[in-house]
Amino acid sequence: MNCSDKENLKERTLALRDTLDLLGGKWKICILRNLYFGTMRFKDLQETVSGISPKVLSKMLYDLEQNLLITRKVNNTKPITVSYTITEYAKETIPVIEALLDFGLKHRRRIKAK
């Protein structure tokens, strides 16, 4: 099998990198897992995703929104609040994350036992 010819390797490689970029960091997965239980305001997210700075949280939320994984809503409250909701589409990432975690956990045990 010649990987370059027989499959569209370039597209597959890009697709793989996209997924890795999208889910590679610990924050995004943690944010998604929080939002999976319901809509949250920025402030609440900052509290539950412990250790994250407001600046980084902002950046992560922006990336997730651009990738259609969450939606952002500005609420007409005083003071104004912003809330985030996971999209139906984002729920498709769950099996991917689980597959990565399962293999990684198993692999760590295996390598440690070597």
Contact 60, 42 (CB under 8 A): no
Burial 42-67 (b: 16+ CB within 10 A, else e): beebeeebeebeeeebeebbebbeeb
- Rounded Cα distance between 42 and 72, Å, is 10
Q: Hey, is 48 helix, strand or coil?
A: helix
- Of residues 39, 54, 68, 91, which one binds a second copy by CB under 8 A? 68
Identity of the residue, 51 or 79, whose beta carbon is nearer to a second copy in the bound complex: 51
- Of residues 3, 74, 80, 88, which one binds a second copy by CB under 8 A? 3
Site map 15..44 versus a second copy, x via CB under 8 A: xxxxxx-x-x-x--xx--xx--x-------
- Of residues 67, 71, 81, 82, which one binds a second copy by CB under 8 A? 67
The residues, ordered by sequence, that sit 6+ positions from 85 with a Cβ below 8 Å of its Cβ are 35, 39, 70, 71, 73
Identity of the residue, 59 or 68, whose beta carbon is nearer to a second copy in the bound complex: 68
Q: What residues line the site for a second copy (CB under 8 A)?
A: 1-5, 9, 11-20, 22, 24, 26, 29-30, 33-34, 37, 48-51, 67-68, 89, 92-93, 95-97, 99-101, 103-108, 110-111, 114
